[in-house]
């Protein structure tokens, strides 16, 4: 059967306008959709808006609008925003679409007829922001920790979905399909929720006496459907479940992308709902972290919301796509500020890729009148370049397929840097001086071929600039098939190169800050001292080692799973020659929480355990922490 691919974003609530957090998920989905298309896979990309429920009803009332008018307006803004930044979604679903309402009712009826929906009474703490009841464990000081708001105690008669019936099935399914939820930390989070408690049944209705803005239950019109039960079904209603061709074609290849905030509905509610409705589970749930504005969560109430369009107008669409995809390590939170964007543009795009293109095009202009030279007879070094692009391209494809885009891009950049080094090593200007046209032709041709290969591979990221480069190489009609690409022999000798100009202009940072920064660095260099601001950048937290195991092939490394409070982390620690796994299991340690992850012996280390040693010759002593200090406590 032909390979297919189906990617979804969450459908966004229409109580807020699109911001950079929404844009990230949507750009990531757009990237992965184009990336799969470029591999020749028949792909489909769904996004949309979530329009029912208390939250939307209240937001509309505040604006003196009907919920439908209000939803039309904000949903339109999402769609316009995505159109303006060239998001190539295949379908945009709204939960107020008739096609969606019909299917929600169909699924409800199906599960009801099966006996998995019953009528009962429930009292619980309801968070309006999450649109769900929170368990006691999820609340902190009587508040929802995500929304920092008091929950409301609500008791009423309602319909319930027998979610608990599917708890064991789900545990087993996740065990048997270890990549079902990825990265691993979120799988572990779902597993620990499933293992720690008996699942409660899910309340799936709201009485119309309290809320009318919802889809009526097909078996009792005194109730409307709970917004999460309705919203999750968008992923199949858009495909025309149960009989639609798209459902038949794409559902078996479904991959959802969400941020960690909505893990529970997607990791627990949704698979159990699918199971109850006799529908195959999705293939993967891909969970990314949060963009934080210099460590504060981005939110309307904090007034630090960044709109995608403003940023793109300022820095360019391709530049922002590259920044977002490169900066966030899959699964971890990332810091967002404009200095970081400027650094990525200046270093990766302007210095590395931009310079490579400028230098090569300039030399081709100067030495070959702007024409693509033939390969010469002396082509020393070409084999290394061919091996280099092969390795980079394969890694790029491998990591991007697993949503580890930032690692994939890094691998591609290794090839870009190697081409820059090839220029420095072969010194084409010297070859020209020596009249060594034969070797010079080979060098310039190899460089142009390399630029072509990179541009094709990057065309799902640099959606405007890659085609410009390819056109300037007169290669719009050349093969973009991977094997052809890796042969580094795709261009036509003798054709004239087009003009490119500066593709990635360098951006100057705001002066006063830059100066303060360099003054600070100078002071630090002079005195060896750092100030409190520098120290506070290091986030050190108390964590408890849940599991420790040796890493095959290394006698120094232990692989630890630690509970860091808000989340579990896996870390690689160089202590196996001093401590056995049993020595550290159950102990509390200090963890550098905001260290960029690194991969050692094929394992990702998501932080660093603190240990001390007097000199390099001594063995490390782990700093164990008194059991009275709570997990997650920050050092400072």
**Active-site annotation, residues:** 19, 22, 127, 130, 144, 147, 297, 300
Q: How far is the CB of 634 from ligand ME8 (least distance, A)?
A: 21
Lookup: tokens for 55: 């939250």
Pick from 32, 236, 258, 564 the residue near ligand ME8 by CB under 6 A. 258
Lookup: tokens for 345: 């543009």
Distance CA 291, CA 307 (A): 13
H helices of 197-262, where?
A: 227-232, 234-237, 245-250
Q: How far is the CB of 13 from ligand ME8 (least distance, A)?
A: 4
Site residues (CB under 6 A) for ligand ME8, limited to 220-249: 231-232, 234
Place of tokens 């593709």: 503
Do 627 and 588 meet the contact criterion of CB atoms below 8 Å apart? yes
Q: How far is the CB of 30 from ligand ME8 (least distance, A)?
A: 13
Segment lying near ligand ME8 (by CB under 6 A), choices 179-187, 255-263, 516-524, 589-597? 255-263
Q: In sequence order, which residues have a C-beta less than 8 Å from that of residue 277 and are 6 or more positions away? A: 107, 110, 111
Segment lying near ligand ME8 (by CB under 6 A), choices 290-298, 347-355, 464-472, 623-631? 290-298
Looking at beta carbons only, is 262 or 611 nearer to ligand ME8? 262
Chain position whose Cβ is nearest to ligand ME8: 21
Number of residues that bind ligand ME8 (CB under 6 A): 19
Closest to 206 measured CA to CA, from 17, 54, 49: 54
Site residues (CB under 6 A) for ligand ME8, limited to 3-62: 10-13, 21-22, 24-25, 50
Pick from 106, 219, 290, 624 the residue near ligand ME8 by CB under 6 A. 290
Place of tokens 């010469």: 376
Do 52 and 224 meet the contact criterion of CB atoms below 8 Å apart? yes
Q: How far is the CB of 22 from ligand ME8 (least distance, A)?
A: 5
Looking at beta carbons only, is 70 or 579 nearer to ligand ME8? 70
Rounded to a whole number, what is the largest CA-CA distance in the chain?
89
Q: How far is the CB of 226 from ligand ME8 (least distance, A)?
A: 12
Q: In sequence order, which residues have a C-beta less than 8 Å from that of residue 550 and are 6 or more positions away? A: 557, 558, 559, 576, 581
Q: What is the 3-state secondary structure (H, E, C) of 71-110?
A: HHHHHHHHHHHHHHCCCCCCEEEECCCHHHHHHHHHHHHH
Per rule CB under 6 A, is residue 259 in the interface with ligand ME8?
A: yes
Q: How far is the CB of 257 from ligand ME8 (least distance, A)?
A: 7
Looking at beta carbons only, is 298 or 592 nearer to ligand ME8? 298
Q: How far is the CB of 597 from ligand ME8 (least distance, A)?
A: 18
Looking at beta carbons only, is 297 or 371 nearer to ligand ME8? 297
Distance CA 321, CA 343 (A): 14
Distance CA 337, CA 347 (A): 16
Lookup: tokens for 76: 């339109």
Distance CA 423, CA 360 (A): 9
Pick from 35, 180, 226, 291 the residue near ligand ME8 by CB under 6 A. 291
Lookup: tokens for 308: 């995608």
As separate numbers, helices (DSSP H) first and strands (DSSP E) second, the chain gives 24, 29
Distance CA 632, CA 460 (A): 39
Site residues (CB under 6 A) for ligand ME8, limited to 261-280: 261-262
Per rule CB under 6 A, is residue 566 in the interface with ligand ME8?
A: no
Whether the upstream peptide bond of residue 183 has omega within 30° of 0, thus cis, is: yes
Place of tokens 């591999």: 39
Looking at beta carbons only, is 237 or 605 nearer to ligand ME8? 237
Pattern 172-191, ligand ME8, x by CB under 6 A: --------------------
What's the DSSP call for residue 96? T
Per rule CB under 6 A, is residue 340 in the interface with ligand ME8?
A: no
Q: How far is the CB of 343 from ligand ME8 (least distance, A)?
A: 20
Per rule CB under 6 A, is residue 403 in the interface with ligand ME8?
A: no
Closest to 585 measured CA to CA, from 547, 558, 542, 541: 547
Binding footprint of ligand ME8 on the chain (CB under 6 A)? 10-13, 21-22, 24-25, 50, 231-232, 234, 258-259, 261-262, 290-291, 298
């Amino acid at each position: 059967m032909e390979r297919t691919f189906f990617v979804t974003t969450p459908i966004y609530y229409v109580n807020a306008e699109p911001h950079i957090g929404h844009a990230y998920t949507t750009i990531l989905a757009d990237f992965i959709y184009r990336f799969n298309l470029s591999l020749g896979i028949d792909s489909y990309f769904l996004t949309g808006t979530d329009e029912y429920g208390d939250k939307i009803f209240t937001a509309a009332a505040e604006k003196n609008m009907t919920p439908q008018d209000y939803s039309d307006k904000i949903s339109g803004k999402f769609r316009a925003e995505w159109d303006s930044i060239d998001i190539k979604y295949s379908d945009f679903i709204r939960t107020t679409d008739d096609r969606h309402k019909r299917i929600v009712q169909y699924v409800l009826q199906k599960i009801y007829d099966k006996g998995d929906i019953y009528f009962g009474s429930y009292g619980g703490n309801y968070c309006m922001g999450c649109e769900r009841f929170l368990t006691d464990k999820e609340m902190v000081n009587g508040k929802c920790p995500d929304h920092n708001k008091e929950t409301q105690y609500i008791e009423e008669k309602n319909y319930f979905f027998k979610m608990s019936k599917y708890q064991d099935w789900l545990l087993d399914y996740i065990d048997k399909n270890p990549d079902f939820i990825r990265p691993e930390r979120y799988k572990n989070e779902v597993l620990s929720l499933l293992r720690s408690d008996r699942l409660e049944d899910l309340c799936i209705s709201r009485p119309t006496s309290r809320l009318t803005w919802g889809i009526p239950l097909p078996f009792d019109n005194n109730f409307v459907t709970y917004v999460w039960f309705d919203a999750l079904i968008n992923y199949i209603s858009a495909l025309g479940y149960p009989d639609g061709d798209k459902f038949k074609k794409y559902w078996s290849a479904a991959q959802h992308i969400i941020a960690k905030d909505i893990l529970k509905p997607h990791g627990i509610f949704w698979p159990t709902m699918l199971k109850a409705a006799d529908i195959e589970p999705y293939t993967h749930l891909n969970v990314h972290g949060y963009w934080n504005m210099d460590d504060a969560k981005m939110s309307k109430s904090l007034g630090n919301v960044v709109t995608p369009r403003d940023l793109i107008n300022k820095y360019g669409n391709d530049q922002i796509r590259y920044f977002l995809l490169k900066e966030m390590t899959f699964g971890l939170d990332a810091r967002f500020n404009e200095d970081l964007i400027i650094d990525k543009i200046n270093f990766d795009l302007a210095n590395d890729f931009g310079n490579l293109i400028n230098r090569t095009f300039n030399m081709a202009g100067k030495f070959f009148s702007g024409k693509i030279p033939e390969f010469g007879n002396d082509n020393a070094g070409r084999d290394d370049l061919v091996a280099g692009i092969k390795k980079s391209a394969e890694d790029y494809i491998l990591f991007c397929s697993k949503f580890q885009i930032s690692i994939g891009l890094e691998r591609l950049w290794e090839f870009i840097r190697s081409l820059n080094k090839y220029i420095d090593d072969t010194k084409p200007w010297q070859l020209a001086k020596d009249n060594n046209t034969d070797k010079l032709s080979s060098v310039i041709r190899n460089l142009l071929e390399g630029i072509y290969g990179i541009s094709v591979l990057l065309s799902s990221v640099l959606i405007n600039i890659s085609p410009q480069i390819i056109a300037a190489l007169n290669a719009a009609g050349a093969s973009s098939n991977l094997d052809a690409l890796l042969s580094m022999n795709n261009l036509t000798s003798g054709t004239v190169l087009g003009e490119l100009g500066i593709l990635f202009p360098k951006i100057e940072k705001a002066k006063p800050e830059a100066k303060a920064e360099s003054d600070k660095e100078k002071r630090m260099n002079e005195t060896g001292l750092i100030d409190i601001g520098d120290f506070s950048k290091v986030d050190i937290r108390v964590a408890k080692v849940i599991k420790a195991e040796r890493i095959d092939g290394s006698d120094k490394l232990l692989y630890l799973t630690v509970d860091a409070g808000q989340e579990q982390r896996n870390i690689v620690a160089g202590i196996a020659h001093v401590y056995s796994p049993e020595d550290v299991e159950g102990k509390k340690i200090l963890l550098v929480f905001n260290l960029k992850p690194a991969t050692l012996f094929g394992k990702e280390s998501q932080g660093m355990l603190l240990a001390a040693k007097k000199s390099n010759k001594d063995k490390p002593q782990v700093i164990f922490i008194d059991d009275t200090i709570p997990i997650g406590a920050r050092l400072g």
